[in-house]
Amino acid sequence: MEIHTNIPLKNFTTMKLGGNARFMTEVRTPEEAVAAFRNAKAQSLPVFILGGGSNVIAQDAGFNGLIIRMRIPGFEVINDDLNSTTIKVGAGEDWDAVVKRTVDMRLSGIEAMSAIPGTAGAAPVQNVGAYGQEIADVLESLIAYDTQTDNFVTLLNEACEFSYRQSIFRSSQIGRYIIVSITIKLSKNLPQPPFYEALQTYLDQHDVHIFTQEIIRNAVIDIRTNKLPDPKLLPNTGSFFKNAIVEDWQLTDLKANFPDIPTYDMGDGRFKVPTGWLIEQSGLKGKVLHGIKIHDKNSLVLINQSASGYRDLANARDEIIDAVRNKFKIQIEQEPLEI
């Protein structure tokens, strides 16, 4: 395990911004992850776990500690029965490669989460999801190093306290656990309609009436390719804002003023409002603020067109948040974590 010094974080995050990390290392086994953490702790250094860098924003000051790049591999079928297959996946595995492998095995449960960048270990952190599926639906458990107790622990699904783009790993227990593997349980049944609205619309438009895991995966990839820019070509973090969640009483007020507002019933009197729509209706679609462009195909996406640093991004973000709040009285939230 090699420790590197003064590493530019912009080279390891898809928004291509940020200062240097004081130290950086890659880990390929759970034991290496523990050793790296203990070494940093002995020197009173903060630690940040980095996967693919697609959902992380680095600040201009950089990180005065140790960045641990998660590269633990693994893909093992640990249970197989008539209806389902349970798979243990290393935290460093590329998420889309995992999805493709399960689709090739004709398993259902994560095919709609195709083409999401990042690592498998990062998926539970923000409860990754897309087109009606999320990791909370299939995660049985995960293994993590508990930095407080200095032990490996197994956390069941319920212990992760999943909600929309949220978990204990980015709320009440942020920084406590280093996830080294996840265990997911997938179905052997074919995907069943009706699907998430945007996906269903695509299938209807393309006259698709037979649904397999591969067909759903290909459809999602096509949708995402057309609405999300490739971060290798245009620096971005994918969806920069979470979709807004409002209570039923808020929705009543909103519909009185904006009768065409799109919503998705989440149950329990809560409704999801597409934040991309809110930003577009605020007149910001395609605009460039402080070198940051609001994508003209999907206003949830912010592209680093010519920003000189994190401050430009923060200023653009705050102006977008203010514009939406002033028009709709809704406070939208940033999705990527910050170093």
Residues designated catalytic: 165, 239, 335
How far is CA 331 from its chain centroid? 20
Residue 301 is encoded by which pair of tokens? Answer: 């996406």
Identify whether the C-beta of residue 115 lies closer than 8 Å to the C-beta of residue 225: yes
CA distance 225 to 132: 18
Token pair 């996946």: residue: 89
CA distance 86 to 139: 9
Q: How far is CA 157 from CA 51, 57, 72, 187, 239, in A?
A: 21, 27, 21, 17, 25
